[in-house]
Amino acid sequence: MYGAAVEVEDEVLRFHREAFVVDLHNDLLTKLVLRGGDLGKRHGAQAIYNPLAFDIDVPKLKEGGVDALGCLLFAGMGLMARRRFWKQLEEFDRLFDKHPELMRARSAADLRAAKASGRIALFLGIEGALAVEDDATALQKLADAGVRFFGICWNKTNKAGVSSFDKKNGGGLSTIGREIIGECNRLGIMVDVSHASKRTFWDLLDASKTPVFSSHSGCEALKNHPRNLDDEQLRAVGKQGGVVGIIFAANFLAGLFESTVETICDHLEHVVEVAGEDAVALGSDFDGFVPLPRGMRDVRDLPRITQILWKRGFGERRLKKLLGENFLRYFEQFN
Ligand SMILES: [Zn+2]
């Protein structure tokens, strides 16, 4: 399933490595809690889809020319969810002792400092309100631990807001959800609209005093999927100065067997067409237990996106924005 290799030309690879490359969303910390492992080791691609294989490790991050990664604390599933949530934070803290190539980041300035020193910046986000839904003040503790962005729900509706997969519930952000967003604004935490139902999405835009962003979604105009954003939503995120990180999940892009790296590029281009060149970003969902499109084996293949868009005549200026500068600009407001 990993066929459709894309040859990356030397000139494009050089450009990609110089550009600031930020990937807004991965579930590496969940995977580390579930299976353990050494990120200093290089993990090969699997012949068939293996949800427990690592899409991300330090050697592959270098090969993929990645400068910064949004790492998620996942709070959404099972009886052990709360315990696992806090364990992910411990895993995050441990990474920096084990791997001097990685740097803990809390700001756009940290992201730039990491690149300047040849390191890869890791910054924290939360996926799902579980850890804070009974107590919005818990966000203070998480902000102190370095959390910089917050998504209200995962695939299931919680006390804070309705999920995009919830067909029965037409509701949006709850009173608790509004309180949490108020806390996010107070603490300078960015609001992530991925996974929110349509109504929750519009409520988030209304409730948040700062521009919102989407860390990992696709475009509904290209593939009708509950997790994708329609054109009106894309335009709204762009208009208020946010960014949309395009997810690489094959089933969100075109279909499990139809999606390729070209399809990722179609979604990226669609964001540019609808929301403008300042609104597009990368939000792979690597290590998120999602099947990747053909040709995207793991994080080492990110330069293939640059190659395809280069060939499509995207231009260096717009490519730099898409690869990371748009997100840096957005993040800078929260320093
Ligand atoms: Zn997700």
- CATH number of the domain residue 58 falls in: 3.20.20.140
Q: What's the mean pLDDT in 9-32?
A: 97
Has residue 1 been placed in a domain? no
Which of the four pLDDT bands, split at 50, 70 and 90, describes residue 1?
very low
Look at residue 102 and tell me if it is in a domain.
yes
The first and second tokens of residue 335, run together, are 């320093």
Q: Is 121 helix (H, G, I), strand (E, B) or coil?
A: strand
- Over residues 313-330, the pLDDT tens digits come to 999 999 999 999 999 999
- Residue 10: how many other CB atoms lie within 10 Å: 7
Give domain status of residue 185, yes or no: yes
Residues 6+ apart with CB under 8 A from 131: 73, 75, 82, 85, 86, 138, 142
Specify if 15 maps to a domain.
yes
Quick check: is 4 in a domain? Answer: no
Domain assignment present for 5: no
Contact 271, 280 (CB under 8 A): yes
Q: What is the number of domains present in the chain? A: 1
Are the C-beta atoms of residues 193 and 237 closer than 8 Å to each other?
yes
pLDDT, one tens digit per residue, over 112-146 is 999 999 999 999 999 998 878 778 788 999 999 99
Dist CA 311 CA 276 (whole Å)? 20
Ligand 1 centroid distance, CA of 238 (Å): 21
User: Residue 77's pLDDT is what?
Assistant: 67
- Rounded to the nearest whole angstrom, what is the distance from the C-alpha of residue 149 to the centroid of ligand 1? 13
Question: Would you list the DSSP string of 214-249?
Answer: EEEE-BTTTS--TTSBPHHHHHHHHHTT--EEEP--
* Residue 3 is assigned to a structural domain of this protein: no
Q: How many CA atoms lie within 13 A of 328 on its CB side?
A: 21
Is 164 contained in some domain?
yes
**What is the 106 CA–ligand 1 centroid distance (Å)?**
21
Q: How far apart are the CA of 91 and the centre of ligand 1, in A?
A: 19
Tokens of 248: 């690489």
- Ligand 1 centre from 74 Cα, in Å? 8
- Residue 170's domain comprises 10-332
Smallest Cα–Cα separation from 241: which of 126, 128, 333, 107?
Answer: 333
Ligand 1 centre and the CA of 11: distance in Å?
Answer: 34
In this predicted structure, the answer to whether residue 2 has a pLDDT above a threshold of 70 is no
Q: How many whole angstroms from 181 Cα to the centroid of ligand 1?
A: 19
In the reported structure, the alpha carbon of residue 16 is separated from the centroid of ligand 1 by a whole-number distance in angstroms of: 26
- Determine the distance separating the centroid of ligand 1 and the alpha carbon of 214, expressed in angstroms: 10
